Structure 1
Amino acid sequence: MTARDDGLVLCEDGLARPPWAAVDPMLRAYYDTEWGVPVRDEHGLYERITLEAFQSGLSWATILRKRDAFREVFCAFDPGRVAAFEEADVERLLVDARIIRNRAKIRAAVTNARATLALRDEGGLVDLVWSFQPVAAPAPASLAEIPTRSPESLALSKALRAKGFAFVGPTTMFALMEAVGMVDTHVVGSHRAGPTAPPRGLGPAL
């Protein structure tokens, strides 16, 4: 593998990826097939918001390795089922070593499920989140040009907080927007940038 001036790494398969996606096969597959592919369903967005919250302060690799366990304990991220969780369920999850055992984040998953249900009367989570999609894509020439937040992520954070969501800060929301295809921050030299990117449409719900 060879580091390039734009911050990307030229991997042994001849494809350029950011350093975080260049070595670990799991992260490489995630970058190549999932990251940045649009997610436009309620379950998918609720799952991404939940996992981004759990990722706060940790590596994304840690979250991906525990993804199947998260899906199991949070009922395949069905907001209707998670919204019914009680304090006993929070305590149960706090002793489950397969996931991130953080009381505030577990409670946020329940809080956000309930907020997601409440939004159904106002157009739904998908319409709210995607209404903050930027008009133009940044098309960064190097990793150094990629921001960690934006006016849109700040506005989305404020809007979600106003609707009762937790752990939805502007930096976390910018990461969400990148992951679900709302803002394309693929470096121009990446094999995922431009016409070589996977077809846009309904992407996997992580």
Structure 2
Amino acid sequence: MTTAPDSISRCAWCGQDALYQAYHDREWGVPLHDDRSLFELLTLEGAQAGLSWITVLRKRDNYRAAFAGFDPAQVARFGPTDEAALLTNPGIVRNRLKVASTITNARAFLAIQAEFGSFDAWLWRFVDGRPIHNTWADLSQVPASTPLSDALSKALRKRGFRFVGSTICYAFMQSAGLVNDHLTGCFRHLEVAGLSSPA
């Protein structure tokens, strides 16, 4: 835990960075059901592999501009010319495999939407439609992955997604609110636990 100058107790991982704190306070752990936002988070979590989350968070607006506001239908239509242009864009992580995977993942995302009506409907089945509220007191207790993230990773890879290992999937589950991993001493723990999750 960390107590900021504003006297608010937060999960220590967001430190004193204003952008990081805003993300922690307003987004992290909130149950998310909008498909475009879910595609954005899944993309950014994959981009973060091997990097710090704050690095990717600072590039978020650039990602939104580069990837058509994270509209999976538009990203799925990106071709070799678009991919080449993305690799020269200094505002994003210019990793060839990560850029290519975003396009591939958009196509796989659309396939899930076509089959289940929405990615949201497919995703939330992994937690029976309701967030898991953990009660960790210390950051050392929070797992990097779980059997559930293993299952999600396996299911996504089977459907053609890339950069969706179990650790990435667990971070995605945390950020999208499938699990509430705010520490019990964090002011957001009870707030997030009190949020309803539409079926």
TM-score relative to the length of structure 2: 0.92
Distance (Å, rounded) in 1 between the aligned partners of 2:80 and 2:49: 22
Deviations 1:116-158 (A, max 9, x none): 1111232132122111127742211211111110111000000
Unmatched 5+ stretches in structure 1: 1-7
Distance (Å, rounded) in 2 between the aligned partners of 1:150 and 1:159: 14
Distance (Å, rounded) in 2 between the aligned partners of 1:100 and 1:198: 33
Residue in structure 1 matched with residue 48 of structure 2 by the alignment: 55
5 Å-filtered alignment, 1:146-161, equals 146-161=142-157
RMSD: 1.6
Residue in structure 2 matched with residue 95 of structure 1 by the alignment: 88
Residue in structure 2 matched with residue 140 of structure 1 by the alignment: 136
Task: Indicate whether 1:131 and 2:131 are aligned.
Answer: no
User: Cα distance, 1:199 vs. partner?
Assistant: 5.8
Distance (Å, rounded) in 2 between the aligned partners of 1:109 and 1:173: 15
Percent identical among aligned pairs is 41
Residue in structure 1 matched with residue 63 of structure 2 by the alignment: 70
Residue in structure 2 matched with residue 38 of structure 1 by the alignment: 31
Identify if the C-alpha distance between structure 1 residues 99 and 80 changes in structure 2 by more than 3 Å, giving closer, same or farther: same
Residue in structure 2 matched with residue 170 of structure 1 by the alignment: 166
Counting helix residues as a fraction of each chain, which structure ranks higher?
2
Kept in 2, the 8 Å contact 1:38–1:181? The answer is: yes
Residue in structure 2 matched with residue 23 of structure 1 by the alignment: 16
**Which of residues 160, 184, 200 is equivalent to 2:195?**
200
TM-score relative to the length of structure 1: 0.89
Distance (Å, rounded) in 1 between the aligned partners of 2:48 and 2:127: 22
4+ long deviations beyond 6 Å: none
Unmatched 5+ stretches in structure 2: none
